[in-house]
A and B are shown apart, each in its own frame.
Chain A
């Protein structure tokens, strides 16, 4: 039941066994597997295995003309091969792609990386292939920030988009909430009770500098970065109930956008920067609304169900995903066309809750929190509801994921 645009066909691609010194065999297998997983997840490539078309995988070397012809006959469009070596205390991956029809080499690049960044070599190769064959930026090097209570306290964590390399980012020993990547992935905004009051912080990943952006008495929460990264929309209860404000990254230019006695919160910018989706209970229960970035032209987006919250505007602009409560009173992930013309349920019904959607740069995949395994875990899913994938499985609660756009 895969929903594909008519005429769209995945690109049949085959990974040839990687070459390199025998002592690097283990690393070569890891690289092949990471690349295979990346390409499958991209939804752009259809992977064909050498054994399925009777090509020997015993002698890793650049594919010769006989292999090319055999692969072309079996319908394989592209062959991918790489050779791993070491150089200056690091890795170097000579990476190639060939089109079988003419036997042309279409990608040839040396990818360098530190000894501890092996998986990253495969991610970069994958993104090169995606860019070459689709003209679109890949997401294999993207990262996910989220909250985990693994240490006993709710701290901000960061992991690769496939769940590898999990690491704790904050050591506040307090409660951290809603970490959000800036669009260039150089900063993370989040709320922490580290000084008692729930204040809004921004941390620069390069310098390590942390600064308080909003510390009004009451809640300062649910940040969303403007596409240019110079401004954040967030909610604060300083006026007696939650209202949405804009603030410049340097702390100046505080500007109130919503004015009513209901709660307005969880803003999410459109990729154009012209509009903001948000949650409001001005109509009774919480629903998703859209306004212009100056607070004008407010209109309601969602009408199904009596509880719809935490909107996430797709980086492609076409969809707004959110947590929707169904008839069984369970939260699921839904999405509406941003013009309101279509509404779909993405996650299946069942006796658990799904919430906190966040999009991949390509606008085809989302990550979210789910309680289907008992504790909350982070999962990814294709917009059409297929390709469900679990990204965290430790015994802690892992929640509120934010997917970087680079």
Chain B
């Protein structure tokens, strides 16, 4: 549940700073050495020991130079995250205080608004808005009308059944029909962007109807 518009203005800004720093540090750890294909080959029956040694240099011309670029920038950001100046620390404190105040104000306002639903669900191979999704979207529309500064992105998703390319198109249909529904309830088009991830970014991976249903969704990201 999201609490109010003003929260997103300053609260998010400081969170983004922290988040970005965190992501870069995380990435730096994940970088694997060039020629990491050796580990790939060893997991496979079909590649003998001779083949995995080939993998190291046999086709290394294929790997792009942008690996090195990526590693360079990771190191830089790591240093930036460590060395925070006193001014920056003070700025962070001030932002935290501000955020706490605004959160309190937002809570008062949110008390009268419906909860903002993050997901609405769809039937297999369908993009029509279901009965259960209509109430949720009506609530989201009210919330968006009350929080005029907020923009949302709708991600369209599908379950793993069906083919990847068709599910990409299906995911976009779901995102578009969700956007259209909100627009019909008075939310301006310019505040709603969308993207399809098809079956590429599942919320779960189990091969059960419960998980399939969880993945057939339009997911809201508040921006």
Q: Residues of A at under 8 Å CB distance from B?
A: 26-27, 30, 114, 116-119, 148, 150-152, 154, 157-158, 160, 162-171, 173, 175, 177-178, 193, 196-198, 203, 205-206, 208, 210, 218-219, 221-222, 235, 237, 240-242, 263, 265-266, 279, 285-286, 307, 309-310, 323, 329, 331, 353, 355-356, 371, 390-395, 399-400
Contact partners of A242 in chain B: CB under 8 A = 169, 172
Q: In chain B between 155 and 176, which residues have their CB closer than 8 angstroms to a CB of chain A? A: 161-166, 168-170, 172-173, 176
Our pick among B125, B162, B168 for the contact of A219 (Cβ within 8 Å) is B168
When chains A and B are docked, how far (Å) is the Cα of A355 from the Cα of B164?
9
B32 is an interface residue with CB less than 8 A from chain A? yes
Cβ-based interface call for B45 (8 A): yes
Pairwise interchain contact B55-A165, C-beta atoms closer than 8 A: yes
Across the A-B interface, give the 3 residue pairs with the lowest CB-CB distance, nearest first. Answer: A167-B37, A163-B46, A394-B43
Q: Within the complex, what minimum Cβ distance (angstroms) separates B147 from chain A?
A: 24
B residues in contact with A166, CB < 8 Å: 37, 40-41, 44, 47, 55
| A173, B62: Cα distance in complex, Å | 17
Known interface pairs A165-B51, A279-B166, A309-B166. Does A116 touch B57 (Cβ–Cβ under 8 Å)?
A: yes
Verify A208–B36 contact, CB threshold 8 A. Answer: no
B21-50 to A contact mask, C-beta < 8 Å, 1/0: 000000100101000110011011111101
Please name all residues of chain A whose beta carbon is closer than 8 Å to the beta carbon of B56 when the two chains form the complex. Answer: 116
Supplied contacts A166-B44, A178-B165, A266-B163, 20 more A-B pairs, CB within 8 Å: A27-B50, A116-B53, A119-B54, A148-B40, A150-B40, A158-B62, A165-B47, A165-B59, A166-B55, A167-B63, A169-B63, A177-B164, A178-B164, A203-B64, A221-B168, A263-B173, A265-B165, A310-B166, A323-B163, A371-B207
**Best-buried of B46, B125, B165, B196 by chain A (most CB within 10 Å):** B165
Measured in the bound complex, the distance between the Cα atoms of B164 and A356 in whole Å is 8
The residues of A that contact B27 with a CB separation of less than 8 Å are 173
Among residues of A, the one whose C-beta sits closest to the C-beta of B64 is: A208
**B40 pairs with A175, CB closer than 8 A:** no
Show 8 residue pairs from A and B whose CB-CB distance is below 8 angstroms, ordered by the A residue.
Answer: A158-B62, A163-B46, A177-B164, A219-B196, A309-B163, A310-B165, A391-B46, A393-B44
**Measured between alpha carbons, how far is A111 from B134 in the docked complex, in Å?**
68
